[in-house]
């Protein structure tokens, strides 16, 4: 998925020259490798549309945008140091005007796949297109004016300092030919059947079950090692596992059930998995007026009770097969990576931790809850009446309902004003891990007096369309976070009510303090920790108290691959790049691979 910010490269106020020793432009790889078969997402209904700025296009859903339409800079989303910064279509960048302007030097002698020249005018047109909020699906900050061009430099002008915005600006924005950018500016969801870009690959053929890409003969970085890259339509995670075992898939970006027993251990010399932790998975709450009839979740007390009532160890061990760790902090920070940003009083450290390996969900209690943070206390304080059949052991601090609240017997449910707490968890059945976790949460929360059910989406496409544009079709949903090595990228996506592509916008949530804190975060030099840390802690406190999204897990960057055809993959021993078959790192990884001997 598309995500990450990096602390090490966000404070640059002067030129940040970004050249990698393994950059494809330095050492062109040999050609002639076998077709590489990859998939980034299961359950996608293919459509013949490669618009990189339409979130519902097949290019967006399958994470193939950057193979054709490259970014300016390739940032390793797991490495915040200079070593994780790689020149791509740009060779250097520099902040000016106290962080409000960003000068970018464009690589020369680059051509589009049709042979036409790529240059500063195309970059300027791409960013001008993003001034249309409906086209700005990549989260580029608001621009003050059109970009200016001086020779081979393009200077971008933003309304506020953007020390935190480098990833979305330089790595998460896919460069277009100016003529195409101008068309998307007026019609952001226009259908593009034949994509045109500077990337190592270009479209070879399309069908509703298989998309084939072939090498771009004009590629600036040399000849790609792959003779072609095939993107098949795969219905479920289990089907992806079968395809890997049978050799019909070389690279998968999803949770493969029992991946070690079902794939890796069958041939450890060629079969591999590396799940680098990269985001916070949360439960989104739909707070729009037409949210499908959910009751209770409009109250922060109920959302907080839901969060503290979930047994995250069960989600991690049963739903995620142990590949993802349970979230331990209600702040949403990715821990332990972002421990430095937690309040020094320890108030948000470990407040979601559950004792035991897989405790009984009906009696599970966090081991480090602040006073009044048990499910029982939260709902009682919020004016809810406990189930008639409930029991609360004040000496042991354990709350247990005497029966399941499934809507059939209100005596088993928390009540207030004639209502019970009732909502469904909406996720795709092909996402076997999320679907299992939805069922687990239903069981856990019904046992605590809340009528929580599951609602299936048949695939990624209808699920994504509904949660981003149809408020009446869903109530809550499990969703990965935007990740990043600094907290801004996830908080901005969760909280920014001004961004029409944010989670806050999709779920109808806004908070003036969160918006103000985000703007302050954006203008704060990351080297000024005395000013920065209180801002981050304010955002964490808002997440903890308002709970617009409930942290569940520390999400993996899914990566299962075979080295039978190609070597040189990013792995635990050589973690040179976020390893998932996803944007924007696809072109970087493809150019590092070498045909197996």
46-102 pLDDT, tens digit each: 999 999 999 999 999 999 999 999 999 999 877 767 888 999 999 999 999 988 999
d(CA 406, CA 451): 5
Q: Which two tokens stand for residue 115?
A: 């042979």
Note whether 231 and 206 are within 8 A (CB): no
pLDDT the model gives residue 453 = 98
pLDDT the model gives residue 5 = 30
Note whether 589 and 76 are within 8 A (CB): no
pLDDT the model gives residue 18 = 46
7-234+558-595 and 277-556 agree in CATH topology? no
pLDDT over 70, % of the chain:
90
Q: Which CATH architecture has domain 277-556?
A: Roll (3.10)
Length of the chain: 597
d(CA 144, CA 154): 15
pLDDT the model gives residue 3 = 30
pLDDT the model gives residue 571 = 92
d(CA 582, CA 501): 19
Q: Name the CA radius of gyration of the chain, rounded.
A: 24
Sheet holding 101-106: strands in order across? 15-17, 90-96, 101-106, 153-158, 143-150
pLDDT the model gives residue 31 = 52
3 state SS of 212: strand
Note whether 421 and 414 are within 8 A (CB): yes
pLDDT the model gives residue 394 = 66
pLDDT the model gives residue 354 = 55
Q: Tens digits of per-residue pLDDT, 520-546?
A: 998 888 778 999 999 999 999 999 999
The closest alpha carbon to 399, from 345, 445, 338, 467, belongs to 445
d(CA 228, CA 236): 24
Fold of 7-234+558-595: D-Maltodextrin-Binding Protein; domain 2 (3.40.190)
d(CA 372, CA 158): 44
pLDDT the model gives residue 273 = 94
The closest alpha carbon to 4, from 179, 153, 127, 165, belongs to 165
d(CA 163, CA 155): 15
3 state SS of 180: helix
Start-to-end CA span in the chain (Å): 31
Q: Which residue, chain included where needed, has tokens 């001086």?
A: 150
- Angle of the 237-245 helix axis to the 432-446 helix axis, nearest 10: 140
Element (H, E) at 427: strand 422-428
- What tens-digit pLDDT sequence spans the chain (597 residues)? 333 333 333 333 334 444 443 444 444 444 567 999 999 899 999 999 999 999 999 999 999 999 999 999 999 877 767 888 999 999 999 999 988 999 999 999 999 999 999 999 999 999 999 999 999 988 898 999 999 999 999 999 999 888 888 888 999 999 999 999 999 999 999 999 999 999 999 999 999 999 999 999 999 999 999 999 999 999 999 999 999 999 999 999 988 888 999 999 999 999 999 988 789 999 999 999 989 899 999 999 999 999 999 999 999 999 998 889 899 999 999 888 788 899 999 889 988 865 443 333 334 444 555 656 688 889 999 999 999 988 877 666 677 787 899 989 999 999 999 999 999 999 999 898 999 999 999 999 999 999 999 999 988 989 999 999 999 999 999 999 988 778 998 999 999 998 998 999 999 999 999 999 999 998 888 778 999 999 999 999 999 999 999 999 999 888 999 999 999 999 989 989 989 999 999 999 999 999 998
Q: Which two tokens stand for residue 543?
A: 């997440």
The closest alpha carbon to 282, from 575, 12, 551, belongs to 551
Q: Where are the domains of the chain?
A: 7-234+558-595, 277-556
Residue 405: other Cβ atoms inside 10 A: 27
The overall average pLDDT reported for the chain is 89
Partners of residue 21 on adjacent β-strands: none
């Amino acid at each position: 998925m598309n995500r990450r910010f990096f602390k090490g490269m966000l404070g640059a106020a002067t030129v940040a020259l970004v050249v990698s020793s393994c950059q494809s432009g330095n050492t062109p790889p040999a050609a002639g490798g076998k077709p590489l078969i990859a998939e980034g997402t299961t359950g996608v209904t293919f459509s013949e549309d490669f618009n990189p700025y339409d979130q519902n296009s097949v290019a967006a859903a399958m994470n193939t945008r950057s193979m054709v339409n490259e970014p300016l800079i390739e940032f390793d989303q797991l490495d915040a140091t200079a070593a994780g910064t790689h020149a791509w279509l740009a060779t250097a960048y520099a902040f000016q005007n106290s962080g409000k302007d960003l000068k970018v030097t464009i690589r020369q002698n680059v051509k589009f796949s049709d042979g036409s020249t790529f240059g500063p005018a195309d970059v300027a047109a791409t960013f001008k297109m993003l001034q249309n909020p409906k086209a700005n699906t990549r989260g580029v900050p608001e621009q003050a004016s059109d970009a200016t061009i001086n020779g081979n430099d393009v200077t971008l002008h933003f309304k506020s300092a953007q020390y935190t915005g480098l990833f979305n600006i330089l790595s998460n924005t896919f460069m277009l030919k100016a003529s195409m950018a101008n068309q998307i500016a007026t019609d952001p969801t226009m259908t593009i059947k034949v994509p045109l870009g500077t990337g190592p690959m270009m479209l070879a053929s399309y069908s509703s079950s298989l998309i084939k890409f072939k090498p771009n003969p004009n590629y600036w970085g040399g000849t790609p090692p792959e003779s072609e890259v095939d993107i098949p339509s795969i219905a479920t995670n289990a089907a992806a596992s079968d395809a890997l075992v049978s050799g019909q898939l070389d690279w998968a970006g999803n949770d493969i059930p029992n991946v070690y027993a079902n794939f890796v251990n069958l041939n450890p010399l060629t079969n591999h998995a590396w799940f680098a932790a990269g985001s916070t998975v949360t439960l989104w709450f739909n707070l729009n007026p037409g949210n499908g009839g959910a009751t209770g979740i409009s109250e922060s007390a109920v959302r907080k009770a839901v969060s503290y009532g979930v047994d995250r160890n069960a989600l991690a061990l049963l739903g995620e097969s142990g590949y993802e760790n349970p979230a331990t902090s209600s702040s949403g920070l990715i821990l332990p990576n972002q421990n430095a940003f937690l309040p020094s009083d320890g108030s948000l450290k470990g407040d979601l931790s559950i004792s035991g390996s897989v405790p009984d969900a009906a009696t599970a209690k966090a081991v480090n809850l602040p006073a009044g943070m048990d499910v029982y206390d939260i709902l009682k304080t919020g004016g809810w009446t406990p189930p008639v059949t409930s029991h609360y052991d004040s000496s042991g601090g354990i709350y247990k309902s005497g029966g399941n609240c499934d809507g059939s017997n209100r005596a088993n449910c928390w009540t207030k004003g004639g209502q019970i707490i009732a909502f469904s968890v909406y996720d795709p059945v092909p996402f076997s891990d999320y679907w299992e976790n939805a069922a687990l949460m239903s069981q856990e929360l019904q046992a605590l007096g809340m009528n929580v059910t599951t609602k299936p989406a048949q695939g990624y496409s209808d699920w994504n369309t509904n949660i981003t544009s149809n408020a009446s079709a869903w109530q809550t949903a499990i969703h990965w976070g935007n990740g990043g090595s600094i907290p801004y990228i996830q908080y901005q996506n969760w909280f920014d009510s001004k961004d029409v592509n944010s989670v806050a916008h999709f779920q109808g949530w806004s908070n003036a303090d969160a918006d103000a804190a985000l703007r302050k975060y954006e203008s704060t030099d990351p080297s000024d920790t005395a000013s920065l840390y209180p801002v981050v802690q304010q955002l964490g406190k808002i997440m903890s108290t308002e709970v617009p999204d409930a942290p569940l897990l520390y999400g993996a960057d899914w990566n299962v691959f075979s080295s039978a055809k190609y070597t040189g993959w990013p792995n635990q021993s050589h973690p040179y790049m976020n390893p998932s078959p996803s944007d924007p790192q696809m072109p970087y990884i493809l150019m590092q691979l070498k045909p197996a001997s």
